[in-house]
Amino acid sequence: MQKSKKIALIILGSLAALLLIYALAGFFGVPYALKNTLPAKLKDMNASLSVAEAKFNPFTFELNVTRPELNTTAPLFSAEQIDVKLKPFSLFKKLAEVDILRLESPSVNIARDKNGTLNLATFLGESNATSTENNETSSINFALNSTKIIGGSFAYSDESLKQPFSAKFEGINYEISGINTEQNSAGKHVFDANSTLAQKLDWRGGIDLAPLRVYGELSLKDFNVRPVALSFIDTQDLRINSALINAKTSYELSADGGVIKAALKNAALNLKSFEAQLEGQNLSLEELDLPAIEVNADVSEKRSFAADISEIKFKNTSFKGEAQANLNSLNLSGVALKADINEKGDINASAALKALGVSGINLTEKSVGEIKLKDANASELGAKINGQNIAASLKNLTLNAASAPVGKNSAASLEKLVINAPKFTLENNASTASIGEIKAQKIALKTKNKEIAAVAEIGVKDADLDLAKTALQIGSVSINKPKFETELKENGELSAISELGLNGEKAAAKKTNTKSKTESAKKPAKSQKTAEKTAAKKSKKTEQKSAQDTKSGFKFSVKNVAVTGADIGITHIFEGQKIAHKFDGLNVNLQNISENLASPVSAKIDMKSSQKLNLALNGKITPEPLNIEADVKLNDANLPRYFVYAKNYLDASLKSGELNAELNVKYAADASVSGKANIANIELTDGSGDKVFAFKNLKLSKISFAKNFLNLERVTLSAPFLKAHLNKERELNLSRLVKNKDGAKAEKTANAEPKKTSAIDKKEVKTEHKTNDAKAAKQDQKEGDFGFAVKQILVEGGEVDFSDASLFMPFATRIAKLEGVLFEVDQKRPTMGTFEGVVGKSGFSKIGLKLLPFDLKKSTEIKLGFKDIDLKDVTPYSGQFLGYKIEKGKLNLTLNYEVADSKLKGSNIVNLDTLTLGEKVESKDAVDLPLSLAISILSDQNNQINIDLPVEGDLNDPDFKYGGIVWAAVKKLFADITLAPFRFLGNALGLGSEDLSTIDFMAASNELIVSEQAKIGDFIKLTSAKPKMKLSITPVYADVDEEAFKNEKLNAKIAQTMAQTGKDYAGALAMLAPGVKDGDEKAQREAALKGIEVEKERLIKLANSRAQVVKDALIKAGLDQNRIEIKKPEKTDAKQGEYASVMMGATQ
């Protein structure tokens, strides 16, 4: 028993001793080893360890270490407090378990010196390979239940880099829980820190090992990239000066059963204040923001990837270098990416972009200038990849307010560009691109001071491009309201070229063209036949080439091109004058344009210019070989604006004029034109504003031009007018129309004394004339490339007005009603024609022609006839040159001229009827001839003078003369007389036609008043002198008649009202004009008259009764009623405001 007790005591003592030793070793041994033994061992490793205080509880297995510090070449680790609690009994379960590990204010400092040596190199072995086997064979698991790092810090520095790097993380709080390899758990982690590189770094996550699953949340605030970039980007081409990154994400990575999945959720990325230099170029970005990112990826036999980014925002991006670029903002929203790869490796991918917006784009380059774009927007961008097939589409793209420099001094601007429904597809190796519509609005080309060109809108619809076949098809192109303005200088250059700063390019092109022309001029000219053969060969080669080009090469077609409302303004600078030409209201339509130059293009042009120029063209054009066929209608109602080109040469103005033409134009190997034209209402005035030339119409009824030959079937000149006037200085107004810049020189030459010519010289002159004429004729035949013929020329209603103010008394005459026709104006056959006209009031003239218009000396026949020329009207000439007035007399003249081979033969038959000289006139120009004696000798018993003067001579003879002194005197006299006007035989009675043109009646009356009764006798005298003449009477009524009838009716109403009501005149009038102020009789009567109507039948009856009164008076005076004709009644204006005038006329 006692022995048992002893044994028990021994055992208990041993256990107590062991426990004491364990307690002492735990409480004192472990702290001692940490404070003394371990530092001594580390000293041998060139490291030092110090511990302010260490405590270990061997019973609770808790270790507390206060302010440990570990240093090598530099401080490596320190902490304010380290607490560890172990669970040693878990070792029986093959589990090394740490229940608690807590580090308070731990500090880790890792440094690399200039030699590249780390301060923790002492603790790093050469290889960890030997531990592999132990790790692989170890069967003990590890567990860490709870770990906390409170207020920790981590620093890293590297002096070995070219740019030393340092980074420090402070305020690190890190919690780990649940690490257990037996349970295949890597625990849960919470990390939070501050750093010199980032304001905040947070991480919360966990790791599951079976199956593998890594998950968590990570956030980074204001991470400074610059220190990292300076130290670790080892290149001189790229330098990052500043960049701050903010990021956050929830992530998850899992692997189970051969399926790997990865996901990012609620992710965001933000980059701020980015500045960098790349190869000397500066790049900056104020902000890049991706606020919401979702990414999912699956990897198995089939792989899939999907990413959704709500927005991508770029703010204030710029690039500066040789070129500068600025971008205010770039926003992408609704970005979605998807990709699937099956087990065969086939890709099925898609991309989508809901919207894209760009604003404030500026691009500047010294040689180009500044390109600007206010903003651009795109929506619903989609792209799909299915194996080898690709499809991409965009709903629309809009660009606003774009501008770019053009040349040196100008810029092009675009207000808006819209591209709708662009698409691209690649399927079965066939790729196509298409655009539904393109609209470009308000395009302008401007210099600093003005706008040169502008287009309201350009539109393109249904554009399809087949990339494999290189074929482009466009449905329609529309150009709305294009505008262009420029000056055309005297040297042929456009001012727009110089204003745009494009002179240099044009000068180079001009120099090249000049050289080409010079070389071409040196080559010998080919004959016409050779040229035609060459053209035919060229045409055939062109057709073959076009066929080859159609089979291969780029192909394109445009169904319709429409230009509407074009406005082209060209100011032509011509000899110092600025002449404005306006081609506005211009519409052009082209159809079926293609690369096949042998295919015809339909063209329509319609223009209604504000300058009254109208053009309509409808035709087809084939580019190669060139073939044109078009119907052209042209109307220009403002021909005077072209006359300004003649201002420097003519002292005249074109007051009016209009051109109308309808032509069919064709061009193939040669040009041909057919159609008709008319020039109307031409009026030309001289410098004083007097009309000198005019015509109503010049009508070309049928025009045909082909092979350099112009044929006119019928030319009609209607109402031509010519005014010829001699002033007191005997200057002809027509000669003064032409401005003579070298007048002094011309006058000197004209006044030079002619050199006397001998008989031999005359013969030489004749021979020379003949030789020169023959040479000229042969030259004309040889060089006659252009020919023309006129089938018929008609003159209708012509008039010539002649006056002479140089005589002792002014002279004037007029040739009117000039009618005539010319037949066959041709180079091959003689031209024949006749003309008739009225000279003065009653004279008659007739001209007959038969001649060769291009060789008058070869064959010419002219017959002129003048009848009943009143010689009294030529008194100004007879007084000036004969010294006598002509009291009376008539002239009848017949002239016959024939020229054959320059030989003239003619006769002049003159008849003077009752020629009587009047009083003598003093004139220094008068001829000294016994005129009275000559007239008495030439006069026959009937007081007739008949002269027949033959004429003959050689037109090539410069001394050609008409025969005889008598002919010279008579020719002078009668040639001047024929230019004087005539009077009607009725003038001998002293009656003025203006006095007998009307017979006046009082308003509403058909009684013949006394003043008009005297005219009846004058009419009887006139009709007696003209027994074949009839009188016409036109019944008339006027407004004064209607007013008189209305007042008559009103007076009747007033009388009736007075009788019915017993009121006086004023009262009755007031009742008929209610609402008008009493006492104002005039206003009351005007108001009352408005309601009174007069029957037209009554007015016509009045008019007819007036005509009958005149007729009865004429019959009563002795005129046969068969010589009186009453016409239909007419309404006319009142004469002197109170008379209605019956119109009188003469008929046959």
Give tens-digit pLDDT for 9-37.
777 776 676 766 767 766 777 787 777 87
CA 1079 – CA 657 distance, rounded (Å): 58
pLDDT at site 152: 82
pLDDT at site 764: 42
Are 958 and 1083 members of one domain?
A: no
**What number is the average pLDDT over the span 258-278?**
82
pLDDT at site 503: 64
Tell me which of 614 and 838 has the higher pLDDT. 614
Contact in structure between 567 and 483 (CB atoms under 8 Å): yes
Tell me which of 816 and 249 has the higher pLDDT. 249
Contact in structure between 422 and 397 (CB atoms under 8 Å): yes
Q: Where is average pLDDT lowest: 309-318, 337-346, 674-683, 864-873?
A: 864-873
Q: Kind and range of the H or E element at 889?
A: strand 884-900
pLDDT at site 1115: 93
Q: Where is average pLDDT lowest: 233-237, 734-738, 864-868?
A: 233-237
Residue 202 lies in a domain: no
CA 132 – CA 252 distance, rounded (Å): 30
β-pair type (601-608, 165-180): unpaired
Are 1049 and 1102 members of one domain?
A: yes
**What number is the average pLDDT over the span 592-597?**
88
Q: Where would I find the beta strands (DSSP E) of 210-302?
A: 212-224, 238-256, 259-278, 281-299
pLDDT at site 183: 66
Is the pLDDT score of 985 beyond 50? no
Are 892 and 1013 members of one domain?
A: no
pLDDT range class, residue 589, cuts 50, 70, 90: very high
CA 1067 – CA 1050 distance, rounded (Å): 14
Residue 634 lies in a domain: no
Nearest alpha carbon to residue 79 among 68, 88, 94, 89: 68
pLDDT range class, residue 977, cuts 50, 70, 90: very low
Domain boundary among 353, 387, 421: 387
pLDDT range class, residue 588, cuts 50, 70, 90: very high
pLDDT at site 1128: 93
Close Cβ partners of 503 (under 8 Å, ≥ 6 residues apart): 497
Nearest alpha carbon to residue 437 among 411, 458, 409: 458
Are 32 and 147 members of one domain?
A: yes
* pLDDT (tens digit per residue) in 802-839: 666 665 555 566 777 888 887 777 777 777 778 787 77
pLDDT range class, residue 1126, cuts 50, 70, 90: very high
Contact in structure between 1004 and 1041 (CB atoms under 8 Å): yes
Is the pLDDT score of 531 beyond 60? no
Q: Where is average pLDDT lowest: 380-384, 498-502, 706-710?
A: 498-502
Is the pLDDT score of 263 beyond 90? no
Q: Where is average pLDDT lowest: 41-45, 158-162, 967-971, 981-985?
A: 981-985
pLDDT at site 1038: 92
Q: Kind and range of the H or E element at 307?
A: strand 303-320
pLDDT at site 126: 46
Residue 691 lies in a domain: no
pLDDT at site 745: 37
Decide: helix, strand or coil at residue 1107.
helix
Are 236 and 304 members of one domain?
A: yes
pLDDT range class, residue 7, cuts 50, 70, 90: confident
pLDDT at site 137: 40
β-pair type (212-224, 200-209): antiparallel
Tell me which of 595 and 920 has the higher pLDDT. 595
Contact in structure between 641 and 657 (CB atoms under 8 Å): no
Is the pLDDT score of 338 beyond 50? yes
CA 876 – CA 813 distance, rounded (Å): 11
**What number is the average pLDDT over the span 620-641?**
88
pLDDT range class, residue 479, cuts 50, 70, 90: very high
Tell me which of 442 and 303 has the higher pLDDT. 442
**What number is the average pLDDT over the span 294-305?**
80
Are 62 and 80 members of one domain?
A: yes
pLDDT range class, residue 567, cuts 50, 70, 90: confident
Residue 343 lies in a domain: yes
Domain boundary among 351, 370, 387: 387
**What number is the average pLDDT over the span 789-797?**
83
Is the pLDDT score of 1105 beyond 50? yes
Contact in structure between 333 and 352 (CB atoms under 8 Å): no
Residue 544 lies in a domain: no
pLDDT at site 1037: 93
Is the pLDDT score of 512 beyond 80? no
Is the pLDDT score of 225 beyond 90? no
Is the pLDDT score of 950 beyond 80? no
pLDDT at site 1077: 76
Are 979 and 1028 members of one domain?
A: no
Are 86 and 155 members of one domain?
A: yes
Is the pLDDT score of 54 beyond 80? yes
On average, the pLDDT of the chain sits at 75
Tell me which of 808 and 239 has the higher pLDDT. 239
Are 420 and 445 members of one domain?
A: yes
Count of domains for the chain: 5
Structural domain range at position 338? 211-387
Residue 105 lies in a domain: yes
pLDDT at site 232: 59
Q: Alpha carbon 735 to chain centroid distance?
A: 46
Contacts for 658-661: CB closer than 8 Å, 24+ residues apart: 659/634, 659/635, 660/634, 660/635, 661/632, 661/633, 661/634, 661/635
Contact in structure between 518 and 524 (CB atoms under 8 Å): no
Are 248 and 152 members of one domain?
A: no
Q: Kind and range of the H or E element at 496?
A: helix 495-499
Domain boundary among 387, 414, 438: 387
Is the pLDDT score of 262 beyond 80? yes
Q: How far apart are the first and last CA of the chain?
A: 192
Tell me which of 905 and 53 has the higher pLDDT. 53
pTM: 0.61
Q: Where is average pLDDT lowest: 251-260, 328-337, 580-589?
A: 251-260
Are 421 and 462 members of one domain?
A: yes
CA 878 – CA 186 distance, rounded (Å): 143
pLDDT at site 533: 53
User: Which value, to the nearest 10 degrees, does the dihedral of the CA atoms of residues 962, 963, 968, 971 take?
Assistant: -70
Nearest alpha carbon to residue 393 among 430, 340, 352: 352
Close Cβ partners of 145 (under 8 Å, ≥ 6 residues apart): 97, 98, 99, 100, 177, 178, 179
Q: What percent of the chain has pLDDT over 90?
A: 6
Residue 829 lies in a domain: no
Residue 1111 lies in a domain: yes
pLDDT range class, residue 1101, cuts 50, 70, 90: very high
445: exposed, middle or buried (Cβ count in 10 Å: 0-12, 13-18, 19+): buried
CA 1102 – CA 315 distance, rounded (Å): 96
Q: Where is average pLDDT lowest: 123-132, 176-185, 529-538, 547-556?
A: 123-132
Close Cβ partners of 951 (under 8 Å, ≥ 6 residues apart): 897, 904, 905, 906, 907, 908, 962, 963, 967
Close Cβ partners of 965 (under 8 Å, ≥ 6 residues apart): none
Sign of CA dihedral 1026, 1028, 1029, 1030: positive
Tell me which of 467 and 543 has the higher pLDDT. 467
Nearest alpha carbon to residue 370 among 399, 410, 318: 410
Is the pLDDT score of 1031 beyond 60? yes
DSSP letter (8 states) at residue 35: I
pLDDT at site 36: 81
CA 17 – CA 23 distance, rounded (Å): 9
Q: Which of 275-289, 323-337, 402-416, 798-812 has the highest mean pLDDT?
A: 323-337
Are 375 and 414 members of one domain?
A: no
pLDDT at site 120: 66
Is the pLDDT score of 794 beyond 50? yes
